[in-house]
């Protein structure tokens, strides 16, 4: 039971005793920590119904709460806020965490397109999705993560058409296709050339359309070429995800639903949900507040299926394979309307059970200092591999030791990836943010390195300590010890908030706050140097609790904590 839940329970008991019917006592962490730990504004909500002044209701509540010895201070503040502070005795008990969910969840994140090098724009989906997945697993859910490649639409037809014009002999024999080889950089350059032609050349656009249709219909040479391009792209993607410690349970893509596409469209036609329109197959969307909406196109007039069709087929497939309680899509906020339409049609077509939640976990963009998508100095969007290298260079600048051995290189990598992730995850998921190329790896301020350094400092302290008996309680002898224990007890509250809102930034705020409180305690109070054995042992165990909680929280963000950090003074 968290502190918040405990206070809520006591409030319900008191309100019941006072004759009020109230399920939600509106309890929050106090916004004035110098006055209290938690507060409730329920008195203001009850005032109108009870026909009493909020202050009077709050005073009645406080009079009963004061009988509970678990609270050291209970008071009324302002127009009727009920404030409580927990006793040191209550806070000195060891914090605990209980799993609180038991759902089966499919989470779709990553979503890179084949034939393109991953760039900074792919970062957010990967690391937000990974953190949400880890958090849900930690809270008790069974979670299946799927990368869901973009590997089956018009872009593939564009590549085939471009190769037909550049290497016409390639398609003359199957052996030529089998011996075809390109690096991911070469494939990306090929795609850029194809994309430029697609925008300006109608004849090329028609060739790409035909190639896409033939690929989806089973053209053997196209399928062999597609597999070569896909395998090379997947290898490149896995290399980047390995560096980011992003792990998927399934490496599926749009192509894996190809056999279901006609089934899905036919079912929607049979149910009169979809209809033919100028050679295409569409689902009309109902107006919203009198505003006309564009239809959802399932099959284009050229015979090729759309992303909407593959998304619907994927939902149907996931329902059949996993019977999930929730399906999450961690995708750019600009795709909001697409998912609103797909989810609507999925339910109309009964492709998913009624009780299954479909959620679009939208996120903003990564921008440069000019407010536009983050780019390199030459004006191109920075690819992810170069961004990771940049992060490692910045992390190395803050390392005091110039002799970089394997252990130090591992430390640099952990700091670089941790800093890169934390700079992203600390921002509200739905907001755009500016990528800081100068300060994100520094171990001061709200950075991943700051929290990693707190863990490293505690490791250094604990290395000097012999074996101690684990106390059942921490002895609180100073206000700084109390603040650390209060923050430790709040881990479950922040975790639940992060879980419910699908919001990793909540965990970032918590870990930064805990690191700050540890730093204040460490600066003010002796630990190994404490002369009183009971206090010394208590503080050592307090620090071990902090370390374990920081490591646990960082892991939920997908960040490793180095055992030690060789830091250059900044």
- Summarised one tens digit per residue, pLDDT across range 11-29 is 999 999 999 989 999 999 9
Q: How far apart are CA 414 and CA 559, in angstroms?
A: 8
How far, CA to CA in Å, does 371 sit from each of 335, 488, 490, 514? 20, 37, 35, 31
Q: CB-hemisphere CA count at 13 Å for 194?
A: 27
Distant-in-sequence, close-in-space partners of 27: CB < 8 Å, separation ≥ 6: 4, 7, 8, 11, 38, 39, 40
Cα(501)–Cα(497) distance, rounded to whole angstroms?
A: 6
pLDDT of res. 569: 46
Beta carbons of 159 and 194 less than 8 angstroms apart = yes
Eight-state DSSP code of residue 27: E
Question: Which residues does the chain have with pLDDT short of 50?
Answer: 569-570
Give Cα 177 to chain centroid, integer Å: 40
CB 145 within 8 A of CB 248: yes
Please state, in angstroms and rounded to a whole number, the distance separating the CA atoms of residues 538 and 121.
46
Strands 38-40 and 27-29: antiparallel
Bridge partners for 305 per DSSP: 299
The CA distance from 29 to 40, in Å, is 9
**Phi, psi at residue 243, to the nearest 5°?**
-65, -35
CB 423 within 8 A of CB 505: no
Threshold 0.85, pTM exceeds: yes
Report d(CA 66, CA 266) in Å as an integer. 67
Which residues have C-beta within 8 Å of that of residue 113, sequence separation ≥ 6?
149, 150, 151, 155
Query: What's the pLDDT score for residue 570?
Result: 38
* pLDDT 10s digits, 39-96: 999 999 999 899 999 999 999 999 999 999 999 999 999 999 999 999 999 999 999 8
The token duo for 276 is 């033919």
DSSP H or E run through 328: strand 326-332
Helix axes 54-65, 3-17, angle to 10 degrees: 110
* Residue (of 447, 438, 446, 368) closest to 415 by Cα position: 447
Q: Are 141 and 504 in contact (CB under 8 A)?
A: no
CA nearest 226: which of 171, 277, 189, 269? 171
Instruction: List all residues 6 or more positions away from 76 whose beta carbon is below 8 Å from its beta carbon.
Output: 55, 58, 59, 62, 82, 83
Contact 556, 511 (CB under 8 A): no
Q: Please provide residue 297's backbone torsions phi and psi, each rounded to the nearest 5 degrees.
A: -90, 125
Dihedral sign of CA atoms 248, 252, 253, 254 in order: negative
pLDDT of residue 378: 59
**Strands (DSSP E) found in 426-477:** 433-434
DSSP element (H, E) containing 237 = helix 220-244
Q: How far apart are CA 212 and CA 285, in angstroms?
A: 26
How far, in Å, are 2, 133, 368, 488, 498 from residue 96 at the CA level? 8, 22, 41, 9, 17
d(CA 239, CA 159): 23
CA distance 194 to 189: 9
Which pLDDT does position 377 carry in this prediction? 58
For residue 398, give the 3-state DSSP assignment. coil
- Residue 188 makes CB contacts below 8 A (sequence gap 6+) with 115, 116, 117
441 three-class SS: coil
User: What string of DSSP letters covers 120-170?
Assistant: GGGHHHHHHHHHHHHHHHHTT-EEEEE--BB-SSHHHHHHHHHHHHH-GGG
CA dist 315 to 106, 222, 272, 273, 330, Å? 10, 27, 20, 17, 15
């Amino acid at each position: 039971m968290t502190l918040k839940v405990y206070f809520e329970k006591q409030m319900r008991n008191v309100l019941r005793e006072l004759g009020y019917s109230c399920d939600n006592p509106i309890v929050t962490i106090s916004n004035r920590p110098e006055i209290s730990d938690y507060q409730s504004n329920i008195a203001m909500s009850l005032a109108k119904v009870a026909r009493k002044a909020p202050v009077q209701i709050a005073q009645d509540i406080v009079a009963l709460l004061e009988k509970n010895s678990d609270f050291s201070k209970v008071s009324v503040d302002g127009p009727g806020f009920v404030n409580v502070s927990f006793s040191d005795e209550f806070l000195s008990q060891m914090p605990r965490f209980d799993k609180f969910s038991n759902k089966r969840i499919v989470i779709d994140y990553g979503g890179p397109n084949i034939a393109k090098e991953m760039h900074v724009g792919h970062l957010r989906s990967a690391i937000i999705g990974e953190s949400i997945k880890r958090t849900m697993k930690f809270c008790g859910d069974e979670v299946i993560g799927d990368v869901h490649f973009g590997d089956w639409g018009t872009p593939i037809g564009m590549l085939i058409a471009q190769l037909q014009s550049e290497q016409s002999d390639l398609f003359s024999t199957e052996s030529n296709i089998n011996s075809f080889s390109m690096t991911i950089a070469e494939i990306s350059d090929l795609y850029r050339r194809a994309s430029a032609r697609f925008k300006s050349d109608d004849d090329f656009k028609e060739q790409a359309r035909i190639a896409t249709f033939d690929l989806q219909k089973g053209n053997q040479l196209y399928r062999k070429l597609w597999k070569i391009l896909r395998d090379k792209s997947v290898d490149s993607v896995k290399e980047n995800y390995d560096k980011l410690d992003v792990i998927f349970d399934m490496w599926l893509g749009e192509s894996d639903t190809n056999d279901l596409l006609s089934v899905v469209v036919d079912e929607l036609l049979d149910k009169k949900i979809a209809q033919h329109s100028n050679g295409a197959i569409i689902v009309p969307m109902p107006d919203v507040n009198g505003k006309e909406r564009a239809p959802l196109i399932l099959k284009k007039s050229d015979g090729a299926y759309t992303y909407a069709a593959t998304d619907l087929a994927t939902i149907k497939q996931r329902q059949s394979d996993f019977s999930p309680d929730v399906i999450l899509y961690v995708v750019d906020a600009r795709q909001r309307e697409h998912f609103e339409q797909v989810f609507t049609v999925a339910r109309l077509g009964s492709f998913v059970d009624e009780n299954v939640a479909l959620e679009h976990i939208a996120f903003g963009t990564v921008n440069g200092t000019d407010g536009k998508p983050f780019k390199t100095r030459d004006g191109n969007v920075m690819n992810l591999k170069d961004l990771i290298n940049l992060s490692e260079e910045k992390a190395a600048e803050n390392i005091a030791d110039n002799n970089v051995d394997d252990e130090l290189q591992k430390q640099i990598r952990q700091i670089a990836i941790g800093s890169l992730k934390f700079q992203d995850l600390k921002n509200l998921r739905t907001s755009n943010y500016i990528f800081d190329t100068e300060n994100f790896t520094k171990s001061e301020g709200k950075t991943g390195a700051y929290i990693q350094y707190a863990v490293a400092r505690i490791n250094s302290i604990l290395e000097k300590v012999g074996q101690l008996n684990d106390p059942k309680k921490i002895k609180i002898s100073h206000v700084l010890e109390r603040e650390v224990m209060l923050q430790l007890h709040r881990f479950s509250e922040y975790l639940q908030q992060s879980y419910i809102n699908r919001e990793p930034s909540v965990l970032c705020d918590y870990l930064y706050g805990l690191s700050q409180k540890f730093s204040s305690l460490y600066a003010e109070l002796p630990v190994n140097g404490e002369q009183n054995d009971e206090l010394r042992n208590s503080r050592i165990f307090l620090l071990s609790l902090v370390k374990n909680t920081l490591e646990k929280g960082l892991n939920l963000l997908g960040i490793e904590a180095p055992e030690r950090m060789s830091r250059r003074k900044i």
